[in-house]
């Protein structure tokens, strides 16, 4: 999806929430959301993602910054005038109303006529595959069904944006996988712009068009799941999304192409564009490489020398713990049955290499 050409549907501009703690809970956060986009707000707990969502919904007043929706700053509007759908982690259904009454609540407040309301409620329940559940009470439904009622209730008012606050974390593992696709499917069918808050990188990677990674109240990186995974912009993103090894490296600018060394041994040749522009000879850097990108070979020339500490079969891959000459440890994932896996016997000495394109370089 080419987002540069799509006009921003919603723009978050330097949004800040500072309740006087050590640092702002949300710090000058800015990003755009395109119409119909499914965007994930991902980060560890306390990173400010939930605070951002609450400011979006109008349940928390930002210290400064703007939220532009439909060309207007909505920050000063109360929640009931924002026209957005919010789905809570706890579902927050109205227990004293039937499913249909729950879904119709927003329509009733908008003074939608009885017949139209009934039709739209039926349509929303069909969208979440809960036809025929209209007369049940929330307490009679399973967690996954309650979740879908909450979504139906939020989308029936045709909100500008659907806000999902950790919607899957109260479900058991099997249902969580199911609901992941279900939610994404509902979103694609209705085309509702969605902001999905989660701490689970797997959820974010599998569901979102784009992911905004937050840490310490700041935006670390925003991009497609592939971009975030393959080209993490910061060491935090590299470590938070997927597994990553970080190898301390020293930059050697000497004659010829720049090289990276670890304990005097050469790392695979770095991509010149990756190197920090201000890095001088001898600069301390960190080379990031994913476990599955590491290739093992016999010690006969190129590569970092390492010893195999441990080799564990975990089903689809073999996880190998490797120790470099200086004692630094790495994890590699090998395909079971491959020649590499044969080499990975505990105590064996091996050489490690990886492709230049699989390595990211950060200032240490």
Partner 1 sequence: MTKFLSFISRAYVTLVFCIVFMPMAIILVISFSADSYLSFPPSGWSLKWYGTVLGNTSFMQGFRNSAIIAVIVAALSLALGLPAAYALVRLDFPGRALIRSLVIAPLVLPAMMLGLGILMVFTPAGLVATYPGLVLAHLVMTLPFSIRILQTSLSNLGTDVDEAAMTLGARPLQVFMQITLPRLTPGVIASSAIALILSFDEIVLSLFIVGPRLQTLPVALYRYVDERTDPMVAVLAVLMIALSLAIVLVVERSVGFAKAFGR
Per rule CB under 8 A, count of chain residues that contact partner 1: 27
- The only residue of 24, 43, 65, 106 in contact with partner 1, by rule CB under 8 A: 106
Provide CB contacts within 8 A for 129, sequence distance 6+: 148, 182
CB of 137 to partner 1, least distance (A): 13
Residue 90 near partner 1 by CB under 8 A: yes
| Closest to 187 (Cα-Cα) out of 349, 6, 38, 338 | 38
Decide whether 83 or 353 has the Cβ nearer to partner 1. Answer: 83
Of 107 and 343, which CB lies nearer to partner 1 in the complex structure? 107
Enumerate the β-bridge partners of residue 289: 245, 359
Shortest spacing between CB 107 and partner 1, in angstroms = 9
Of 146 and 311, nearer to partner 1 (C-beta) is 146
Per-position b or e across 323-360, b if 16+ CB within 10 A of its CB? ebeeebebbbbbeeeeebbebbeeebebbbbbeeebbb
Site membership for partner 1, residue 58 (CB under 8 A) = yes
Q: Give the residue, chosen from 22, 96, 280, 316, that forms a contact with partner 1 under the rule CB under 8 A.
A: 96
Q: Which of 82, 210, 218, 360 binds partner 1 (CB under 8 A)?
A: 82
Instruction: Specify the stretch interacting with partner 1 by CB under 8 A; choose among 102-110, 117-125, 166-174, 230-238.
Output: 102-110
Question: Please, which residues have CB within 8 angstroms of residue 298's CB and are 6 or more apart in sequence?
Answer: 343, 350, 351
Least distance (Å) between residue 170 CB and partner 1: 12
Question: Among 86, 228, 344, 351, which residue sits at the site for partner 1 (rule: CB under 8 A)?
Answer: 86
Least distance to partner 1, CB of residue 153, Å: 7
Contact between 76 and partner 1 by CB under 8 A: the answer reads: no
Name the burial class of residue 3, with classes exposed (0-12), middle (13-18) and buried (19+) by CB atoms within 10 angstroms of its CB.
Answer: middle
Regarding beta strands 38-42 and 162-165, do their DSSP bridges make them parallel or antiparallel, or are they unpaired? unpaired
Choosing from 10, 154, 207, 267, the residue that interacts with partner 1 (CB under 8 A) is 154
Q: Which residues contact 327 (CB under 8 A, 6 or more apart)?
A: none
CA 52 to centroid of chain Cα atoms = 15
Site membership for partner 1, residue 79 (CB under 8 A) = yes
Q: Is 327 in the site for partner 1 (CB under 8 A)?
A: no
* Residue span binding partner 1 (CB under 8 A) among the ranges 78-86, 127-135, 291-299, 313-321: 78-86
We find the least distance from the C-beta atom of residue 124 to partner 1, in angstroms, to be: 13
- Nearest of 122, 253, 340 to residue 114 by alpha carbon: 122
Q: Can you give the binding site for partner 1, defined by CB under 8 A?
A: 57-59, 78-86, 88, 90, 92-96, 105-106, 109-110, 150, 153-154, 157
């Amino acid at each position: 999806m080419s987002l540069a050409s799509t006009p921003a549907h919603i723009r978050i501009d330097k949004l800040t929430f500072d309740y006087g703690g050590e640092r702002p809970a949300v710090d000058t956060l800015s990003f755009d959301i395109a119409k119909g986009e499914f965007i994930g707000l991902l980060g560890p707990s306390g990173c400010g993602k939930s605070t951002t969502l609450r400011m979006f919904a109008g349940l928390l007043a930002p210290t400064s910054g703007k939220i532009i929706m439909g060309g207007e700053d909505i920050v000063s509007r109360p929640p009931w005038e924002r026209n957005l759908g919010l789905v809570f982690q706890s579902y927050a259904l109205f227990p004293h109303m039937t499913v249909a009454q729950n879904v119709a609540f927003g329509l009733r407040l908008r003074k939608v006529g009885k017949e139209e309301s009934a039709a739209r409620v039926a349509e929303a329940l069909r969208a979440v595959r809960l036809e025929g559940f209209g007369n049940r009470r929330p307490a009679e439904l399973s967690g996954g069904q309650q979740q879908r009622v909450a979504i139906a209730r939020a989308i029936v008012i045709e909100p500008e944006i659907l806000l999902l606050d950790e919607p899957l974390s109260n479900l058991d593992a099997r249902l969580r996988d199911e609901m992941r696709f279900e939610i994404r499917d509902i979103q694609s069918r209705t085309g509702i712009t969605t902001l999905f808050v989660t701490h689970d990188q797997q959820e974010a990677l599998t569901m979102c068009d784009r992911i905004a990674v937050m840490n310490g109240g700041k935006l670390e990186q925003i991009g497609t799941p592939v971009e975030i995974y393959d080209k993490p912009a910061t060491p935090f993103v590299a470590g938070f999304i997927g597994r990553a090894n970080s190898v301390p490296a020293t930059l050697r600018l000497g004659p010829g192409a720049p090289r990276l060394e670890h304990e005097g041994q050469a790392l695979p040749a770095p991509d010149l564009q990756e190197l920090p522009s201000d890095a001088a000879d001898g600069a301390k850097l960190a080379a990031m490489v994913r476990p599955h990108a590491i290739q093992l070979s016999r010690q006969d020339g190129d590569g970092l020398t390492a010893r195999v500490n441990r080799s564990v079969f975990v089903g689809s891959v073999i996880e190998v713990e490797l120790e470099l000459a200086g004692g630094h440890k790495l994890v590699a994932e090998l395909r079971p049955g491959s020649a590499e896996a044969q080499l990975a016997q505990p105590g064996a000495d091996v050489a490690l290499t990886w492709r230049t394109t699989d390595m990211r370089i950060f200032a240490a």
